[in-house]
């Protein structure tokens, strides 16, 4: 009898210990480590994507959600220190200005410009940001122009980061390679095709941002830039260039949608949209031809003018101008160039033992078939796809978080590090009014 | 400008709501709870209405008992390759039970009424965890009302059966990926009440005071939820796409077949063992039928593909004196949920159970029974086939309970 009581006391003792220690279950298992890399001073080299450009502008919220900033937050767990960005001040938080969704009319988006709290010190010039920074992303930066000192005077986002004495005299490559970093991310080259593609594969005379960079130039500059960044065996991650057909800028306004719009507006049964191709021929558009997003809001389709009384785009003798359309031939040319660039990026990454984030493959997967991330459908649909912001090119905060995870996976794979992933479901897609 | 089917990308996914294994914590009788759920053959009392309708007629008195448990689910989730562990908020769900018997003493029949909650639970992950677009919170309860009759075929052989009327309550919320002007996501709230019917039958046989066996079967009960409320909080521009509406859904509660055995292991000690087969394979899919459909708010169908489940429980009842019985038990439950179909509402896996309990006879009229069961749903790393959410879940369930019985 006594023994039983003693045993029962023991059982109760065991059980209460179990209860006390297990009220809240703990899950062990992920120990962050830096592996073979040194993340103490991480710099991010790149263009608008690195800077956090979104919704057609650079503004504070976008800067804060830029993928390198999200990566840097995770790097704190593996020895990363301060990661400073050229944030706009709170009273200038809307930076360059950007697009927002004003309303949906019959399910169609109406946009407006945000014009308050901008950061212009004079027209075309943004408030300077002096002081040390690690996010070196410059919207509009191209690989081929990263070695041109005059570009600092032409690009207002770069000009903003340079002391007056360096404007027009310092190249982006010089600017980015003097920061004493221990680790870098490098994502340049998109604008070397995108500037040309977004202009409908038309190079504007005197505008170096609409040039399609030659493959040889690309390889030479890319290698030079990477060699400078990897000097003294420093490590980093590079990323491939996304396909033009993976972004809503080119995939939203389809031939089918234009025909449907004409029918809805005029009640007429239209069969064809006529375009002017890059080779100056005029023909009916096919589904392989891509219209640029701004064409939708340009209000040209079906319009007439005194010079040409025929309805715009609906008659062979008044075709959609080449700058609004990437015809199938141009798409092929651009895709071939992207492939050549990506081969170079992959080769150099391998030569230099760098991590490779394959943004080309990843964004193609988002475009087709799309992914489901923690219950959220993510795809390349304009506005509702959650990945792309209102300009159809740049990423939403959620898109940035997904890209941050792509980079983190690549780094972990290459350097045996264990950087924790970003919870991308914390970040939003497009804001609705 | 026209963009075809612009809003289709926002299509609302199916809510995950089921009377699942995770929500099944049997707390109908505190004596059985003290033995981790075993004892259907051992305890011949008013709770036999639930555990063994065939045993009810063997009661030599009438009784009324009222009991309640405080079930505390503590679930944790860690997303794959993340250091952040997310915990459900501390919630107590209070399943209760009332059992009453009627009829002449030592006669060939006995009647009883049971009101109890065989399924129920409350999980609240909040709206800041990685699975927020699958679930914020879920509260559900099934209340069974079961009038029962039990007959003696021979002195040792009893048979009984009851009719089950079920009232089911569901209340859940989840985030919707539609950012408003301040960047916060939208929210869907679904709630409703449904009813269903079923039955409960059983036989009980004993050899004098030595050995007893109980067989019982509880049928499937399909709770038909009609005109539940669906309420959506979304940015104004999307309000017409997400109209507040009503929905219908069918939530089947599984059948179960139970075998219980008991035999003495000493003068004052009894051992009882129970095995339960649960027909969870009826959960093939879950369909939500919204009354007002829009291009984004369509009826949803989600695959579940549950398998049948099995549990085994064993317990010891020790009579320390004429007034105090002490109990201890343990058990193991095989989960019906396959990895890719695990959902945060009941992040299920196989589970182990341990329990202690007592009954104190205050006097000839009054008994007080207490029990405490702890269940650990084992850690499980899964990738959801429905949402892609990938990570490890682990759950502890604590359920202390008390019941008071009046006998006459």
DSSP A142-161: -TTTTT-TTHHHH-HHHHTT
**Chain centre to alpha carbon of residue A203:** 22
pLDDT digits (tens, 9 = 90+) for B327-352: 999 999 999 888 898 888 878 899 99
Mean pLDDT of the A393-409 span = 98
The pLDDT value given to residue A14: 62
> Residue B354 and residue A19: Cβ atoms within 8 Å?
no
State which residue of chain A sits closest to B241, comparing Cα positions: A107
Helix (H) or strand (E) holding A360: helix A359-367
For residue A56, is pLDDT > 50? yes
DSSP state of A427: S
DSSP state of A401: H
CA distance to partner chain A, nearest, from residue B251 (Å)? 22
The pLDDT value given to residue A126: 97
The model's confidence at residue B2, banded by pLDDT at 50, 70 and 90, is very low
> Residue B83 and residue A24: Cβ atoms within 8 Å?
no
For residue B239, is pLDDT > 60? yes
The two structure tokens encoding residue A201: 């594969």
Q: Which residues of A touch B78 (CB under 8 A)?
A: 27, 29-30
CA distance to partner chain A, nearest, from residue B317 (Å)? 12
At residue B320, φ and ψ (nearest 5 deg) are: -70, -30
The pLDDT value given to residue A427: 96
Give me the percent of chain B exceeding a pLDDT of 90: 66
> Residue B374 and residue A27: Cβ atoms within 8 Å?
no
Mean pLDDT of the B66-89 span = 92
Segment among A222-231, A344-353, B305-314 with least mean pLDDT? B305-314
- Cross-chain CB nearest to B74 (options A23, A254, A382): A23
Spatial distance between the Cα atoms of B123 and B92, rounded to a whole number of angstroms: 9
Helix (H) or strand (E) holding A64: helix A60-64
Nearest 5°: CA angle at A139, between A135 and A143? 90
State which residue of chain B sits closest to A26, comparing Cα positions: B76
> Residue B131 and residue A428: Cβ atoms within 8 Å?
no
Nearest 5°: CA angle at A154, between A148 and A157? 100
For residue A39, is pLDDT > 80? yes
Spatial distance between the Cα atoms of A306 and A308, rounded to a whole number of angstroms: 5
Superfamily of domain covering B24-407: Outer membrane protein transport protein (OMPP1/FadL/TodX) (2.40.160.60)
CB contact at 8 A, B158 and B150: yes
> Residue B81 and residue A24: Cβ atoms within 8 Å?
no
Spatial distance between the Cα atoms of A339 and B333, rounded to a whole number of angstroms: 55
Helix (H, G, I), strand (E, B) or coil at A224: helix
Domain ranges of chain B: 24-407
B1, B86, B183: best mutation site toward chain A, by most A Cβ within 10 Å?
A: B1
CA distance to partner chain A, nearest, from residue B227 (Å)? 26
Q: How far is CA B37 from CA B29, B327, B356, in A?
A: 9, 11, 11
CB contact at 8 A, A204 and A326: no
Spatial distance between the Cα atoms of A298 and A290, rounded to a whole number of angstroms: 16
B11, B81, B315: best mutation site toward chain A, by most A Cβ within 10 Å?
A: B81
Q: How far is CA B171 from CA B70, B91, B119, B402, in A?
A: 19, 14, 14, 27
- Cross-chain CB nearest to A108 (options B3, B10, B11): B3
CB contact at 8 A, B219 and B255: yes
CA distance to partner chain A, nearest, from residue B272 (Å)? 18
Non-local (6+) Cβ contacts of A60 within 8 A are A87, A88, A90, A93, A94, A95
For residue B170, is pLDDT > 90? no
Spatial distance between the Cα atoms of A15 and B354, rounded to a whole number of angstroms: 8
The pLDDT value given to residue A360: 97
Spatial distance between the Cα atoms of A175 and B341, rounded to a whole number of angstroms: 52
CB contact at 8 A, B358 and B57: no
Segment among A7-11, B26-30, B149-153, B220-224 with least mean pLDDT? A7-11
- Cross-chain CB nearest to B396 (options A23, A264, A374): A23
Spatial distance between the Cα atoms of B58 and B396, rounded to a whole number of angstroms: 37
Helix (H) or strand (E) holding B240: none
- Please state the ipTM of this predicted complex: 0.87
- Mean pLDDT, chain A, rounded, equals 92
The model's confidence at residue B19, banded by pLDDT at 50, 70 and 90, is very low
For residue A62, is pLDDT > 60? yes
The pLDDT value given to residue B209: 73
At residue A402, φ and ψ (nearest 5 deg) are: -65, -40
> Is the four-CA dihedral A333, A334, A335, A337 of positive or negative sign?
positive
Q: Which residues of A touch B386 (CB under 8 A)?
A: 375
- Cross-chain CB nearest to A29 (options B6, B318, B392): B392
Place of tokens 């945060």: B344
Segment among A48-62, A292-306, A346-360, B30-44 with least mean pLDDT? A292-306
Q: Which residues of A touch B15 (CB under 8 A)?
A: none
Nearest one of B305, B304, B326 to B317, comparing CA atoms = B326
Mean pLDDT of the B205-216 span = 90
Mean pLDDT of the B30-50 span = 94
Non-local (6+) Cβ contacts of A208 within 8 A are A142, A144, A145, A148, A151, A154
Nearest one of B296, B170, B337, B344 to A425, comparing CA atoms = B344
The pLDDT value given to residue B284: 79
A313, A375, A432: best mutation site toward chain B, by most B Cβ within 10 Å?
A: A375
Other Cβ atoms less than 10 A from the Cβ of A139: the count is 21
Nearest one of A179, A215, A182, A191 to A49, comparing CA atoms = A191
Mean pLDDT of the A143-169 span = 97
> Residue A77 and residue B389: Cβ atoms within 8 Å?
no
Residue ranges and CATH numbers for the domains of chain A are: 42-246+328-426 (3.40.50.1110), 251-326 (no CATH)
Q: Are strands A282-284 and A371-373 parallel, antiparallel or unpaired?
A: unpaired
Helix (H) or strand (E) holding B281: none
Helix (H) or strand (E) holding A195: helix A190-198
> Residue B132 and residue A296: Cβ atoms within 8 Å?
no
CB contact at 8 A, A400 and A52: yes
CB contact at 8 A, A157 and A51: yes
What is the interface size between A and B, counted as CB pairs within 8 Å? 176
> Residue B235 and residue A432: Cβ atoms within 8 Å?
yes
Nearest one of B256, B266, B367 to B313, comparing CA atoms = B256
> Residue A26 and residue B85: Cβ atoms within 8 Å?
yes
Please, how many CA atoms are within 13 Å of residue A123, restricted to the half-sphere of its CB? 0
The two structure tokens encoding residue A120: 């212009």
**Chain centre to alpha carbon of residue B75:** 16
The two structure tokens encoding residue A43: 């710099």
Q: Which residues of B touch A421 (CB under 8 A)?
A: 79-82
The pLDDT value given to residue A109: 87
Rounded to the nearest 10 degrees, the angle between the axes of helix A190-198 and helix A328-351 is: 170
DSSP state of B35: T
The pLDDT value given to residue A106: 77
Mean pLDDT of the A329-353 span = 97
- Cross-chain CB nearest to B83 (options A108, A420, A428): A420
> Residue B9 and residue A384: Cβ atoms within 8 Å?
yes
For residue B22, is pLDDT > 70? no
CB contact at 8 A, B92 and B66: no
Q: Cis omega before residue B99 (within 30°)? A: no
Mean pLDDT of the A147-159 span = 97
pLDDT digits (tens, 9 = 90+) for B396-405: 988 899 999 9
Burial A39-76 (b: 16+ CB within 10 A, else e): bebbbbbbbbbbbbbbbbbbbbbbbebbbbbbbbebbe
Q: Which residues of B touch A12 (CB under 8 A)?
A: 356
Q: Where are the alpha helices (DSSP H) in A231-270?
A: 248-251, 255-266
- Cross-chain CB nearest to B7 (options A5, A107, A296): A107
> Residue A22 and residue B374: Cβ atoms within 8 Å?
yes
């Amino acid at each position: 009898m006594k023994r039983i009581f003693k045993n029962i006391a023991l059982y109760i003792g065991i059980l209460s210990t179990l209860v006390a220690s297990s009220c809240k279950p703990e899950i062990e298992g992920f120990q962050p480590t830096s592996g073979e890399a040194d993340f103490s001073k991480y710099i991010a080299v790149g263009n608008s994507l690195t800077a956090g450009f979104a919704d057609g502008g650079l503004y504070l919220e976008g800067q804060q959600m830029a993928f390198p900033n999200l990566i840097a937050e995770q790097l704190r767990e593996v020895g990363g220190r301060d990661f400073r960005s050229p944030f706009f001040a709170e009273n200038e938080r809307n930076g360059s200005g950007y697009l927002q969704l004003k309303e949906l009319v019959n399910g169609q988006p109406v946009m407006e410009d945000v014009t308050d709290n901008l950061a212009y010190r004079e027209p075309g010039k943004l408030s300077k940001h002096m002081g040390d920074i690690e996010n070196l992303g410059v919207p509009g930066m191209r690989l081929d122009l990263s070695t041109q000192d005059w570009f600092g005077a032409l690009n207002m986002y770069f000009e903003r980061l340079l002391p007056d004495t360096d404007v027009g005299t310092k190249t982006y490559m010089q600017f980015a390679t003097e920061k004493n970093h221990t680790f870098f991310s490098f994502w340049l080259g998109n604008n070397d095709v995108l500037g040309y593609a977004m202009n409908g594969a038309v190079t504007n005379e005197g505008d170096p941002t609409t040039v399609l960079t030659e493959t040889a130039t690309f390889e030479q500059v890319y290698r030079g830039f990477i060699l400078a960044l990897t000097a003294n065996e420093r490590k980093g991650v590079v990323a491939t260039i996304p396909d033009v057909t993976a972004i809503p800028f080119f995939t939203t306004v389809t031939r089918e949608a234009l025909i449907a719009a004409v029918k809805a507006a005029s009640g007429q049964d239209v069969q064809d949209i006529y375009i002017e191709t890059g080779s100056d021929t005029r023909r009916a558009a096919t589904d392989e031809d891509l219209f640029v997003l701004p064409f939708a809001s340009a209000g040209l389709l079906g319009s007439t003018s005194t010079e040409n009384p025929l309805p715009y785009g609906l008659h062979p003798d008044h075709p959609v101008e080449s700058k609004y359309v990437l015809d199938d031939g141009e798409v092929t040319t651009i895709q071939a160039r992207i492939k050549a660039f990506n081969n170079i990026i992959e080769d150099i990454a391998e030569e230099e033992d760098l991590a490779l984030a394959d943004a080309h493959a990843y964004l193609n997967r988002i475009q087709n078939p799309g992914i489901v991330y923690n219950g959220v459908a993510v795809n390349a649909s304009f506005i509702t796809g959650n990945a792309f912001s209102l300009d159809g090119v740049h990423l939403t905060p959620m898109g940035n978080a997904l890209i941050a995870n792509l980079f983190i996976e690549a780094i972990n794979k290459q350097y045996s590090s264990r950087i924790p992933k970003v919870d991308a479901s914390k970040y939003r897609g497009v804001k609705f009014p | 400008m026209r963009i075809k089917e612009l809003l289709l990308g926002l299509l609302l996914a199916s809510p995950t709501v089921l009377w699942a294994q995770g929500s099944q914590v049997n707390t109908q009788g505190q004596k059985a709870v003290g033995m981790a759920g075993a004892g259907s053959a051992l305890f011949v009392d008013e709770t036999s209405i639930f555990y063994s309708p065939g045993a009810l007629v063997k009661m030599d008195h009438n009784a009324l008992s009222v009991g309640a448990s405080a079930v505390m689910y503590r679930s944790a989730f860690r997303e794959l390759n993340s250091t952040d562990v997310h915990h459900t908020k501390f919630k107590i769900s209070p399943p209760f039970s009332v059992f009453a018997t009627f009829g002449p003493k030592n006669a060939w029949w006995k009647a009883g009424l049971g009101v109890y909650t065989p399924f129920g639970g409350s999980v609240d992950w909040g709206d800041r965890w990685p699975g927020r677009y699958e679930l914020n919170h879920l509260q559900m309860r099934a209340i069974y009302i079961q009038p029962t009759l039990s007959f003696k075929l021979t002195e040792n052989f009893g048979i009984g059966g009851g009719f089950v009327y079920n009232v089911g309550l569901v209340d859940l919320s989840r985030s919707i990926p539609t950012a408003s002007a301040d960047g916060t996501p939208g929210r869907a709230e679904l709630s409703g009440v449904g009813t269903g019917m079923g039955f409960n039958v059983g036989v009980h046989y004993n050899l004098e005071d030595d050995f007893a066996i109980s067989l019982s079967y509880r049928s499937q009960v399909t709770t038909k939820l009609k005109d539940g409320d669906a309420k959506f909080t979304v940015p104004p521009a999307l309000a017409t796409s997400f109209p507040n509406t009503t929905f219908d859904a069918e939530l089947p509660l599984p059948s179960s077949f139970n075998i219980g055995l008991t035999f003495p292991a000493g003068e004052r000690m009894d051992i009882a063992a129970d095995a339960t087969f649960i027909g969870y394979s009826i959960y093939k899919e879950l369909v939500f039928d919204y009354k007002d459909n829009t291009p984004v708010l369509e009826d949803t169908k989600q695959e579940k593909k549950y398998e049948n489940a099995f549990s085994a429980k064993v317990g010891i009842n020790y009579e320390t004196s004429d007034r105090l019985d002490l109990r201890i038990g343990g058990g193991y439950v095989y989960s019906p949920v396959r990895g890719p179909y695990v959902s945060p509402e009941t992040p299920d896996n196989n589970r182990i159970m341990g329990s202690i309990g007592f009954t104190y006879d205050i006097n000839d009229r009054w008994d007080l029974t207490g029990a405490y069961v702890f269940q650990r749903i084992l850690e499980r790393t899964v990738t959801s086939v429905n949402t892609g959410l990938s990570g490890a879940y682990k759950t502890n369930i604590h359920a202390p309970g008390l019941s008071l019985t009046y006998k006459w």
